[in-house]
Amino acid sequence: MISLAGSVILGSLITTYMYKVNQASTPVAAEQQKSVQKGTPVLSSELAGKSTSLPEAECPVTGSEPISGAVTVRILVDKNGQVNWARGSGGDWLMRGAATEAAMKSTFDSQKLRSREVEGTITYTFKP
């Protein structure tokens, strides 16, 4: 009986210790695996030379191998230089989401747009 009680107590102490050690090391391992991969933007001829702000796309990457590819985002820029609409195509779904988000943050010079709406594309290239 004493041996059984001692085994239960010792087993629960070892389990508690192992659980705490595992919980302490898990966030560090998760942070090491998470990284951000940047996509470089290139404007189509309709928009070339007219941007005032063209942010890079930042795609979260989990795992050991980075992803690569290109995403083309079709955008509609209003006469004030703000992107009103964006839709990405091609590439991984994470890259497509990051590229579309970055395209929506882009701004253009309204004077260079000649105060009219302009439709064009931004192609984001993600390289490992």
The tens digit of pLDDT for each residue in 41-70 reads 999 999 999 999 999 999 988 777 778 899
Record the tokens describing residue 99, joined without a space: 């590229």
DSSP string, 5-52: HHHHHHHHHHHHHHHHHHHHHHHHHHHHH-EEEEEEEEE-TTTTT-EE
pLDDT at site 66: 75
Q: 52: Cβ–Cβ under 8 A, 6 or more apart, which residues?
A: 81, 107, 108, 109
Q: What is the pLDDT at residue 24?
A: 58
Q: Give the C-alpha separation, 72 to 96, whole Å.
A: 8
Give CA–CA dist 1/7, Å, rounded.
Answer: 10
